[in-house]
Structure 1
Amino acid sequence: MIEVAKEAAIESGKITLSLQGKRHTFIGKEKLGDFTTEADITSEKKILSILQTKFPDHNFISEEIGKIDNGSDYWWIIDPLDGTIPYTSGLRTFGVSIGLLKDKKPILGVVNLPAMESLFWAEEGKGAFLNGQEVKVKANNDLSEAIVAFGLGHRQERQKMLNELVMPIADEVRYPPVVDCAVFGGSMVAAGIYDAFVHYAYPWDFAAAAVLTTEAGGKVTDLKGKPIDWFQPRIMYVASNGLLHDEILSLIE
Structure 2
Amino acid sequence: MSKIADIEAVARAAVHAGGAELRRRYHADDSEGTYTSCDVKAAADKATEERMLPVIRQAFPDHAIFAEEAGEFEGTNPYRWIVDPLDGTNNFTAGLPTFASAVSVRYDGDPVVAAIHQPVTDETYLVRRDEGVRYNGTTVTAESSVPVDAGTVAMIVGREVPQNQDLAEQARAVQSTVETEVKRVCSSWAPVVHSGLFARGRLQGVVQFHPDEEEQAVTELLAAEADAAVRRDGALFVAASDEATLDVLWGQPPRGSGGDVAGDASVYAPGSGNDDHGRGVRSRVWQGWDRKDHDDDGTRDGARRGVRRDGHRRRHGDGKRAVPCRAGRCRDDTA
Match of residue 26 from structure 1: 33
The structural deviation recorded for 1:206 is 3.4
Is structure 2 residue 10 aligned with structure 1 residue 8?
Answer: no
Is structure 2 residue 127 aligned with structure 1 residue 127?
Answer: no
User: d(CA) in 2 for partners of 1:103 and 1:245?
Assistant: 29
Aligned equivalent of 2:143, options 126, 135, 138:
138
Match of residue 232 from structure 1: none
Where 2:178 maps in the other structure, the secondary structure is helix
Where 1:177 maps in the other structure, the secondary structure is strand
Unaligned runs of 5+ in 2: 1-6, 252-279, 283-335
Is structure 2 residue 116 aligned with structure 1 residue 116?
Answer: no
The structural deviation recorded for 1:213 is 2.1
CA distance 1:123–1:177, change in 2 (3 Å): same
User: d(CA) in 2 for partners of 1:247 and 1:142?
Assistant: 11
User: d(CA) in 2 for partners of 1:175 and 1:151?
Assistant: 14
Deviates more, 1:91-100 or 1:66-75: 66-75
**1:124-183: per-residue Cα shift (whole Å, max 9, x none)?**
111111111111102459532332122466655695255321111111113223333111
- Structure whose alpha-carbon radius of gyration is higher: 2
Match of residue 195 from structure 1: 204
Match of residue 229 from structure 1: none
What does 1:165-204 correspond to in 2, within 5 Å? Answer: 165-200=174-209, 201-204=211-214
**1:34-56: per-residue Cα shift (whole Å, max 9, x none)?**
22222111111111100000001
CA contact (8 A) 1:136 1:216 kept: yes
Match of residue 252 from structure 1: 281
CA contact (8 A) 1:98 1:207 kept: no
Aligned equivalent of 1:217, options 200, 203, 227:
227
CA distance 1:219–1:8, change in 2 (3 Å): farther
Where 1:166 maps in the other structure, the secondary structure is helix
Is structure 2 residue 106 aligned with structure 1 residue 96?
Answer: no
Percent identity, aligned pairs only, is 23
User: d(CA) in 1 for partners of 2:25 and 2:83?
Assistant: 19
Aligned equivalent of 1:69, options 67, 71, 74:
74
Where 2:208 maps in the other structure, the secondary structure is strand
Give the TM-score taking structure 1 as reference length. Answer: 0.86
**1:29-84: per-residue Cα shift (whole Å, max 9, x none)?**
xx842222221111111111000000011111121122222242111011000101
Where 2:219 maps in the other structure, the secondary structure is helix
The structural deviation recorded for 1:208 is 2.2
Give the TM-score taking structure 2 as reference length. Answer: 0.66
CA distance 1:23–1:13, change in 2 (3 Å): closer
Moved over 6 A (4+): none
User: d(CA) in 2 for partners of 1:113 and 1:161?
Assistant: 31
CA contact (8 A) 1:59 1:74 kept: yes
CA distance 1:63–1:236, change in 2 (3 Å): farther
Is structure 2 residue 51 aligned with structure 1 residue 50?
Answer: no
Query: Which structure exhibits the higher relative contact order, with contacts defined as CA atoms closer than 8 Å and separated by 6 or more residues?
Result: 1
User: d(CA) in 2 for partners of 1:135 and 1:37?
Assistant: 32
**1:82-140: per-residue Cα shift (whole Å, max 9, x none)?**
10111011111000111010011111110111111110001111111111111110245
User: d(CA) in 2 for partners of 1:183 and 1:172?
Assistant: 23
What is the root-mean-square deviation in Å for CA atoms of aligned residues? 2.3
User: d(CA) in 2 for partners of 1:187 and 1:65?
Assistant: 26
CA contact (8 A) 1:136 1:217 kept: yes
CA contact (8 A) 1:83 1:181 kept: yes
Unaligned runs of 5+ in 1: 227-234
Where 1:72 maps in the other structure, the secondary structure is coil
